[in-house]
Structure 1
């Protein structure tokens, strides 16, 4: 099974909310590069299909995190399969159609050569997590906790006021869990691609 097939299977199995079919239709359409886009310009997932890989990695990391006994019993984090799939698979929709292929010059063995790269070109600069919430909300309703989880999935790594991030984590534990899964996928599973 390809990663695209796996994504679609998880999506169709768990996400049943009104409007979800239209959102998946958009993701699969020529108007979206979700399945081909990189996850970043130069760091984790900076290759064709990196955004898809990253979304699935975050899904797996979030599922694992939420299975911990302490997380379930002490912290009371018990979320539906639908909520888990929505926040993890869709948290980075903000990256759709934002990366353009280009080249850059690098010095190798004393010679300058051109290497392929991605350039970030966001035609809808609405922020990061908030843009993903905005895009999803155009198709289907999110619960308040889902919206805050996606909005604050960058955690303290964002440029957001740290007080807001901390307050969001206190009020909506799913935001902390998604941020943890996102960081695990980004820094431990994916890392920076060798140049």
Structure 2
């Protein structure tokens, strides 16, 4: 099964909130299902973004879902859509690299072209809420999923700490994103179509 099909299955089985069908239709008009998740790190390959999104959802469910206290729709929204900000974000460029014979040849690579520089987590929240109303815990989880890697935190923001204290979902998404990125996806460049 392709990552895109797996994403669709998880999404349609778990997310039924008003506007969710329209959000899914809009996603199909973007490069979300073909884009990389990064320029050179985890899932830096075609379909990498959807691969990462499915992986984060799976880690959240495997490691952090509690039937008594958690909500499947919230986990699906957060896991699958936390990096929505990366749709229409990466572009392909070419540079010359020496091959094994010492000859220069053009090689494709990913670069960033942020046409809507609104931040990382906050941009994902903004894009989702154009279609689906998020609960406060979901918005906080998506906004702060980068934790200390978020640029606004480096300046000394206490927002992430406050969010993690008040919203366990935010901590669970952050941990799932870390595990997916640094333990499960490191160096991945294989593509399941």
Correspondence 1:163 to 2:158: yes
Of 119, 122, 140, the match for 1:127 = 119
| Residue of structure 1 equivalent to 2:32 | 34
* Per-residue deviation, 1:163: 2.0
Q: What are the ranges of 5 or more consecutive residues in structure 2 without an aligned counterpart? A: none
Structure 2 residue aligned with 1:22: 22
Distance in 2, Cα, partners of 1:149 & 1:104: 37
Per-residue CA shift, 1:105-158, capped at 9, x if unaligned?
Answer: 334454443321011001011000000000000001000000000000001111
Preserved CA contact (<8 Å) 1:66 1:77: no
In structure 2, the partner of 1:63 is: 61
Does residue 79 in structure 1 map to residue 70 in structure 2? Answer: yes
Q: Determine which of 37, 41, 53 is the counterpart of 1:43.
A: 41
* C-alpha spacing 1:77/1:144, structure 2 compared with 1 (3 Å): farther
What does 1:109-188 align with in structure 2 at a 5 Å threshold?
Answer: 109=100, 110-161=102-153, 162-188=157-183
Task: Name the count of aligned residue pairs.
Answer: 185
TM-score (norm 1): 0.89
For residues 102 and 44 of structure 1, the distance between their equivalents in structure 2, rounded to whole angstroms, comes to 18
CA RMSD of aligned residues (A): 1.8
> What 5-or-longer segments of structure 1 have no aligned partner?
none
- Secondary structure of residue in 2 paired with 1:105: strand
TM-score by length of 2: 0.90
Q: CA deviation at 1:63?
A: 0.6
SS at match of 2:152: coil
SS at 1:38 equivalent: coil
Q: Judging changes above 3 Å, is the alpha-carbon distance between structure 1 residues 126 and 39 closer, same or farther for their aligned structure 2 residues?
A: same
Task: Say which is worse superposed, 11-20 or 109-118, in terms of deviation.
Answer: 109-118
Aligned partner of 1:3 in structure 2 is 3
CA distance in 1, matches of 2:81, 2:69: 19
Map 1:93-108 onto structure 2 (within 5 A). 93-108=84-99
Shift of 1:192: 3.1
1:77·1:174 contact (CA, 8 Å) conserved in 2? no
SS of 1:100's equivalent in the other structure is strand
